Structure 1
């Protein structure tokens, strides 16, 4: 007997259907009878890269303060959660409601000063310390005994290095002074130069990784989130290089038609122009 889709169609085509409309669309996309073949074939593993990509696009819209775009990007990211939850429901693992309830329970438990009887008269530092204690207790409940347990392997490498070092620092494995971190950076730089001149490419890669890891540690000591700092540096480089390209274009040239000396001079010019604009 064919399934009656009339109720589903009514929800799908309701412009202000909100969350229930989105969830019904996802159910229909995954429907074995009339769904989309591509959506039906997907797994957690195949969708995960899209989830990561959508999270970065949210961050990008915020970075550029494109608030109109942000609404759409948040919708894309929300759809990823709905997609994963629907796949889980199809497999009999858990439901979307259980996902929402788990998040609600976590937020209530982590904010006893809002939802419980603890005082709200706490400094930001004390609230952060309390938050970490609560998370540590949660990790213990999940039988995560090591200090580094639970730091997601799938994080961007620079962000994961930062988080690993924060965890290690909590149990006392840390340099007490920033100068010691700088000394270690100099040591790693020397080892990298030596590796470049005398060792294999694999060993050069290892030494490069060591240097990047210590750089992330320096960022932590300076109170800088390295992923955000590098993202800002990427944006700055992009704008300045685009400025170089614009100056070359005004001369009827492309970067391929130029040379390093000319582009370097234009780089300094663009940098000065951008600084004047920001002042």
Structure 2
């Protein structure tokens, strides 16, 4: 085994896994669609490693995510759509195009002595260029090109951000909080009326408004919810551990006992 492998070795490995003559039976069955769930999972595992500041684990997870790209590249090559070099070429060209303040010549290795500009101007230029790209793809309109496959919270935040750029936004978070309170009232009314369909719609409106609050607070809603999930898991595990010491399970305890143990776990966190 070599001391160190390269991206070229990784491409060769993937080609061998997909080789009809002696390749891996599982890998040979895969398609673009079947590996999408793994891609999404690997992306979240990268995010988790970063949030945990576990950089040794992050290296491994980044490798797993890169493997997904190599997998798609191999599938694309087999189908005649594209290959890994073409993926890289498209990426480099796009990044150069979107950074005229760094690459004014439009070339990666051209005359790139650009005038310094501020961060806000960089953001403005970036959005202008992306809008031009969307128009070229036929994805025009303020909300065009926001991927349907995004997690719902992330997509809501992107839609709201796009609308805010053209002035469709609350001037402050006070309006957002008032809207949240309004949506809670409407959800209560739908529940009281026993209308599940309307309740579902109102719950969606409430979640959308909460995402708006996150955006005004400059908080990523997906990240906030992941943190909340981990906090809930940590505290519930503490409750379960204490009950286990008593020889019991959570199902054996009353709700009042569970609440008391929950408050204890919460207080222990400081």
TM-score by length of 2: 0.92
The answer to whether the Cα contact below 8 Å between 2:131 and 2:140 also exists between their aligned partners in 1 is no
Residue 119 of structure 1 and its aligned partner are, at CA, apart by: 2.0
Q: Tell me what 2:108 maps to.
A: none
Deviations 1:211-238 (A, max 9, x none): 1111111111222111111111111111
2:244 corresponds to: 249
Kindly state the Cα deviation for residue 205 of structure 1 after the two structures are TM-superposed: 1.3
2:116 maps to: 120
Aligned counterpart in structure 1 of residue 148 of structure 2, from 143, 148, 153: 153
2:75 matched to which residue of 1? 87
- Partners in 1 of 2:136 and 2:176 — Cα distance? 34
Q: Report deviation, 1:247.
A: 2.0
User: 2:243, 2:121 → 1: CA distance?
Assistant: 54
- Cα distance in 1 for residues equivalent to 2:258 and 2:117: 56
How far does the alpha carbon of each residue in 1:137-167 deviate from its partner, in whole angstroms, 9 at most, with x for none? 2212222211111111001001100001101
Shift of 1:251: 2.5
Instruction: Please state how far the C-alpha of 1:53 moved relative to its aligned partner.
Output: 0.6
Q: Distance in 2 between matches of 1:232 and 1:130?
A: 33
Residue 226 of structure 2, aligned match among 227, 231, 234: 231
Shift of residue 14, structure 1, vs aligned partner: 4.0
Q: How does 1:146-185 map to 2 (within 5 A)?
A: 146-185=141-180
Q: CA deviation at 1:65?
A: 1.7
How far apart in 2 are the matches of 1:163 and 1:254?
43
Task: Give me the whole-angstrom Cα distance separating, in 1, the residues matched to 2:180 and 2:135.
Answer: 34
- Given that 1:219 and 1:226 are in contact with CA atoms closer than 8 Å, whether structure 2 keeps it comes out as yes
Which residue matches 1:5? none
SS state of the match for residue 196, structure 1?
Answer: helix
What residue ranges of structure 1 are gaps of 5+ in the alignment? 1-12
Q: How far does residue 252 in structure 1 lie from its aligned partner after superposition? A: 2.6
Q: Which stretches in structure 2 are left out of the alignment for 5+ residues?
A: 105-112
Matches within 5 A, 1:55-204: 55-116=43-104, 117-122=113-118, 124-204=119-199
**What is the total number of aligned residue pairs between the two structures?**
262
> How far apart are the structure 2 equivalents of 1:120 and 1:31?
50
Deviations, residues 108-144 of structure 1 (Å, cap 9, x unaligned): 122222233432342x333222221221122122222
Compute the displacement of 1:103 (Å).
Answer: 1.0
SS in 2 for 1:243: helix
Q: Which has the higher helix share?
A: 1
Equivalents in 1 of 2:5, 2:267: separation in Å? 51
Aligned to 1:3: none
- CA RMSD for the aligned pairs? 1.6
For the 8 Å contact 1:14–1:21, the answer to whether it is kept is no
TM-score in terms of structure 1 length: 0.89
